[in-house]
Chains A and B, each alone.
Chain A
Amino acid sequence: MDKSANFKINGMHCGGCANKIKKQITELDIEHTIDVNVETGNVNIKFNSEACTISTLKNSIAKAGFQVESVELD
């Protein structure tokens, strides 16, 4: 896994919200690790740049019902 993306997300309230996002990302069926901080609204996803793009991840988060405020890539 060569890439790490930090998403700042609006409107997460609790663990339920975090699970929704995790579920959507898991459905992408790619190798990844995900870390959600409900309090700060930060979602960190590590993944392979060959397997997936930022737009795909953004779409999955949108499908879970959340709006991405900003993205950071490392």
Chain B
Amino acid sequence: MTCAACSGIIESEVLKLKGVKSAVVNFSTEKAVFEFSEDFDLDLFFSLINKLGYRAYDDRKKNRQQDSNSEYTFLNKDLLSALVSLILASLTMFFAMVVHNNTYQAILTTILVLAYGKPYFYAIIKLHSNMNTLIGLGAFSSYFYSLYLLVFNPHAHPYFEGAAFIIAFSLLGHYFDGLAKTKARSSLSSLYKMQIKFAALIIDNKEINTPVIELKENDVIRIKPGEKFPLDGIVTSGESHADEAMLTGESQVVSKFVGSKVFAGSMNMEGSVNIKITSSMHTTEISQVIDFVEKAQLKKAPIQQHADKVVKYFVPAILIFSLLTFMIWYLLTNNIETSLLHMIAVIVIACPCALGLAVPMAIMISTSDAAKKGLLISGGDIIEAGSHIDTMVFDKTGTLTEGRPELTKIVLFHESPSIELEKKYLATAASSLQYSSHPLSQSILNQAVKNDLKLEEPDKFKALTGLGVKASLNQKNILLGNIDLMKSANLSFEVSPQFYTDNIGSYVFMAIDEKLVACFVITDPIKKEAKEVIQALKDLKINVWMLTGDNEGIALKVGAELGISPENIRAGVKPVHKADFVSELQSKNLKVAMVGDGINDAPALAKADVSMAMSTGSDIAIEAAHVSVLGGKLMSVVDFFSRSKRTIRIIKENLLLSSVYNLLCIPLAAGVFYPLFKLTLSPAIASLTMALSSLSVILNSLRVNNRAYSQK
């Protein structure tokens, strides 16, 4: 495909086929997605694509590694044709300027046209309206006009070198475009490269080197230190660490032991491990990430629709304008040659390509780079929406805080505090609630394990929903739970208001034999980078809100530590009401983004203009959210907003660049400035300018990554 108009042509032609439901073609990634009914004959599709002058491959069967190799040879072929045609064109010029031999010129140009003119010729006779049509019309009209002169008017100066250079420069431009596009795609192809080819399959304790493609689920393979995991799996023996940076962007290595999940493409560090395979080549987490990004890049940003509309009418408009140019020049000078040259220059210089590339190029580069950093953006539309966001709502647990509550303090009610006593009560509590699966129980249990405390078996144990647990340990009755449990047990006790202000967190009270003895204060630690993230969002002029189901004390304390003002905090909010709150903000005409852990805040996420889900650990199930942040890295939230703003700015620059180029250069080529400044362009120079203009858009788009928000 040579320009954005091509993708439009393919879309409309394929839709005409019977049985095709939808068609989306992305020019910059050179990918197309079609939906068709079951009885649809795929050969019909391929022959149509061939007839249109393109080549198509079935992506569902491909090996992605080969993809990047074939790209490489394509580029070499482009370079070769560009160089050969440049040499031919220079020789033609030599014969024109120095030797003045028209016949040799004609022969050389004919060779060039026969060798490389085919795609341009097809573009014309098939009445496409794309860049090749314009180049072809320019080149062939100079060529045939020169032939006409050669035969009927041997003394006139023919214009073979013009035709030669138009084709040569256009091929050169094509090569540079390919080069820049390959660079732009490199982020994505580095994801492909994570897939490896061979692995040591273990059968009867022997290692057999086997192609990864032949491995099946439940096969056991051995991964040595420094090797990459070829497929997703579960460790069955051995211990090691894994570097999962390619999935989560997280630089810290993750420890792996028997039962841990490992992911294709991640790197095994210091130990040998055996893993049982749980995925096929096409169902690994990493290939899901790749599929996600590729699909995202097919979704067009609204801003692109305007550009597409212009591109559609661009070529016909240029053809009409070039005819006008010819007529006006002919009326003014009565000279066919001058008029024709201006007409050709107009046709050649016009570049729908730059305009068509302006949006998709920037979006593609931005989303690929983001994916590499563990930030999955589901499309260009989301980038555009992200650039308009002015209000950000955080669901506290799991986003601003770790989502892993920790026991931070043990308060004694009747005895003076001592470490021995605290340990004794911790052991009693942990023993009593060891069979409870409540997160607060888990944090008390974790703390006991950390202190190497010996647990005893309880005689009796009962979980009381919404209250706590009731157990019997060493003939003592133990009650562990919230204040309501203590009240319901008719204990004589009093907790001073001072207690609640001194100790902020979630409370687990403990009573032994109907006497309140201690309270375990549990808090969810704030993420290290949370404060910095809130400040960075404020710097981006985004108003930050915090929602939480926790009590007001916790909410205000976390808010104070993070620099969120109390009026922007809502505590004690139930999951259903989180969605109402988002709608309430939206009704004030605010553009709201919502960040959550994607588990209990799904309704609120669905309401938001942009929804972001934090996936923690290496669990990268891709949620229904617009943006998924892998590895729970909060800084990625800031990266998303600064990236959206930057991407949209670059898109606007691209659109401006290509519009200014066309608005300035087309009149220039038409000779509008000739009467004033004696300025005109030869068709050959026009072809070179055009090649440079689309290159400039691609290069400008690459700047999206230059000032990426530094990840700390």
**Partner-B contacts on A (CB < 8 A):** 3, 49, 53-54, 58, 69-74
Contact = CB atoms under 8 A, between A and B. Distances in A.
Contacts of A72: 461-463
A49 B435 contact: no
A49 B470 CA distance: 19
A73 B462 CA distance: 6
B218 to A, nearest CB: 15
Nearest to B436: A70
B461 A73 contact: yes
Contacts of A49: 457, 459
Given A71-B461, A73-B458, 13 more contacts: A3-B459, A49-B457, A53-B457, A54-B457, A58-B435, A69-B437, A70-B436, A70-B463, A72-B461, A72-B463, A73-B460, A73-B462, A73-B471
Nearest 3 CB-CB pairings of A with B: A73-B461, A71-B435, A72-B462
A53 B456 CA distance: 10
Interface residues of B, number: 11
26 contacts: A3-B459, A49-B457, A49-B459, A53-B457, A54-B435, A54-B457, A58-B435, A69-B437, A70-B435, A70-B436, A70-B437, A70-B463, A71-B435, A71-B461, A71-B463, A72-B461, A72-B462, A72-B463, A73-B435, A73-B458, A73-B459, A73-B460, A73-B461, A73-B462, A73-B471, A74-B460
Interface in B449-497: 457-463, 471
A73 B432 CA distance: 11
Contacts of A73: 435, 458-462, 471
A58 B434 CA distance: 12
Nearest to B435: A71
Interface of B: 435-437, 457-463, 471
Contacts of B462: 72-73
A11 B471 CA distance: 27
A71 B462 CA distance: 7
A53 B435 CA distance: 11
B44 to A, nearest CB: 47
A70 B435 CA distance: 7
Contacts of B437: 69-70
Contacts of B435: 54, 58, 70-71, 73
A23 B595 CA distance: 47
A49 to B, nearest CB: 7
Nearest to B462: A72
A25 B462 CA distance: 22
Contacts of A58: 435
Say what secondary structure dominates the interface of chain A. Answer: strand
Nearest to B460: A73
A54 B463 CA distance: 15
B575 to A, nearest CB: 21
B134 to A, nearest CB: 65
A72 B433 CA distance: 11
Contacts of A74: 460
B481 to A, nearest CB: 15
Contacts of B459: 3, 49, 73
Contacts of B457: 49, 53-54
Nearest to A73: B461
Nearest to B457: A53
A47 B466 CA distance: 29
A70 B459 CA distance: 16
Q: Which of A49, A69, A72 has the most CB of B within 10 A?
A: A72
Nearest to A58: B435
A72 B459 CA distance: 10
B45 to A, nearest CB: 45
Contacts of A53: 457
A56 B537 CA distance: 50
Contacts of A71: 435, 461, 463
A11 to B, nearest CB: 15
A23 B460 CA distance: 25
Q: Which of B435, B437, B459 has the most CB of A within 10 A?
A: B435
A58 B437 CA distance: 13
Q: Which of A3, A73, A74 has the most CB of B within 10 A?
A: A73
A11 B292 CA distance: 32
Q: Which of A58, A69, A70 has the most CB of B within 10 A?
A: A70
A54 B462 CA distance: 13
Nearest to A7: B435
A12 B293 CA distance: 39
Contacts of B460: 73-74
B457 to A, nearest CB: 6
A53 B457 CA distance: 8
Q: Which of A3, A53, A69, A71 has the most CB of B within 10 A?
A: A71
A49 B232 CA distance: 41
A49 B471 CA distance: 16
Nearest to A6: B462
A73 B470 CA distance: 10
B430 to A, nearest CB: 14
A56 to B, nearest CB: 11
A73 B463 CA distance: 10
Nearest to B458: A73
Contacts of B436: 70
A31 to B, nearest CB: 17
A70 to B, nearest CB: 5
Nearest to A71: B435
B2 to A, nearest CB: 57
A74 to B, nearest CB: 6
A52 to B, nearest CB: 10
Contacts of A3: 459
A74 B435 CA distance: 13
Nearest to A54: B435
Nearest to B437: A70
A13 B321 CA distance: 76
Contacts of A70: 435-437, 463
A62 to B, nearest CB: 11
A53 B431 CA distance: 13
Nearest to A8: B463
Nearest to A53: B457
A44 to B, nearest CB: 14
A3 B461 CA distance: 11
A70 B461 CA distance: 10
Contacts of B471: 73
Contacts of B463: 70-72
B435 to A, nearest CB: 4
A52 B221 CA distance: 36
Nearest to A70: B463
Contacts of A54: 435, 457
Q: Which of B436, B457, B471 has the most CB of A within 10 A?
A: B457
A57 B113 CA distance: 83
A40 B188 CA distance: 50
A69 to B, nearest CB: 7
A73 B457 CA distance: 10
Nearest to B459: A73
